[in-house]
A and B are shown apart, each in its own frame.
Chain A
Amino acid sequence: MNSTDTYHTSGLHGLMAEFDDPEKLVAAAEATRDAGYSKMNCYSPYPIEGAWEAMGHKSPMSKLVLLGGVTGCLLGFSFITWTQVIDYPWNIGGRPTFSWPSFIPPIFETTIMFAGLTAAIGMFLVNGLPRPYHPVFNVPAFIRASKDRYFLVIEASDSNFDQTATRSFLQGLEPLEVNDVEE
């Protein structure tokens, strides 16, 4: 953990600043972005809109879920039509086999089923979860990220990352503490 003098970045995931106030985290994230860092992340016990806005993060969820819903709708329609009209048509009092209005309720349900599962499973996959191990968990203080503390990590893979300079930059943001994050 203690490597302020030696200039090595191998085995180092990044530097982590700890805050006790969500406003400080957002301010720090904005300052970090303005200082030219791009590979950073914020960690908080609940969603903070300003944090991902500072990071310029775009979420693909809306498009994914639309895709899931359209897939569910088309699959439902084609499957039901295939079973009722093509594979095994029933003649019930001479009524038309392609009675599509009566297919609407089950097609609606398949649409919702596919869209909903895409939203849930897709969200975890897009986030790279499940992932039991992550370097940020190596910092003992990080245990409070799920409780009442707010963390900012500048990653060592950032082209502007310099262990000494970045550390003093983070210190300037008035955090409670700055820690090394080991790989």
Chain B
Amino acid sequence: MTTNTTVLDSGAALRPSPPQARRRRHPAATSAGRFVLGAGTVVLALAFWEVLSRTGALPPDAIPPASAVLAEFAAQLFLPAFWASLWATLSVALLGLVLIIVIATPLALLIGLVKPFAESTWFLVEFLKPIPPVALIPLGLLLWGPSPGMKLFLIVLGALWPLLTQLVYGVKEVNGVATDMARSYRLGWWLTTSRLVAPSILPFALTGLRISAAIAIIVAVVTEMIGGATGLGQGIVVAQSAGALTQMYALILAAGLLGLGLNAAFRAAEKPLLFWHPSMREEASR
């Protein structure tokens, strides 16, 4: 079973020739095997969707066949309007993330290091954190109308908290035995910052930023859907009300790929930045 191959994987280089080594390798053990399995399932799922839609098992006026959606998606890739709306969504989300970093970093330092500040803002932060960001959309629409500024405001207010929380954890993580040791070794400001503070905070910062990015995209798309600011969300709603089903599905596919791309970008950034972290070591030995 799975246990066999895991042991085998990590220990194969160390142990000369255990009896299990002669057994056939598990299909999911190699990255090529995993790729084939994954790609196979995707193709299978698409084929299944195609058949269900063509035969009418799924309502064809609600779910068009997969081939039509994929063809429409390919056609969209050549339309400047598609790229414009994609950029409208992505640019505001990225700008929001930059603002979030600028706001969250000093706040996290204050909360993590200055005790009275942390206690004074405790209630406020704990109250604002769980408020669903979409609750503020009507208020934002009322005050500013469907503008990029409104979108930006809602993104910052909704996606600030994951990064802030993670950064505070990170700052607190630094404040411990390691700081005492750095002090007794007289490491100095630069060495302490570069060797201790930054590496301790970085994993938390990246985790927080990844969650914040996901929420930023969600808030951006929702404000576009409901508020009518330009972007992917608006495109989806417009396509739906115009009855252009394949276009609607193609845009939804694009929204998913956008999220996937953003996630992959963060993973790619994590690898060189956090190669020393236990979570990465585990991943590498897998």
Partners in one complex: no
Interface, chain B (partner A; CB < 8 A): none
Interface, chain A (partner B; CB < 8 A): none
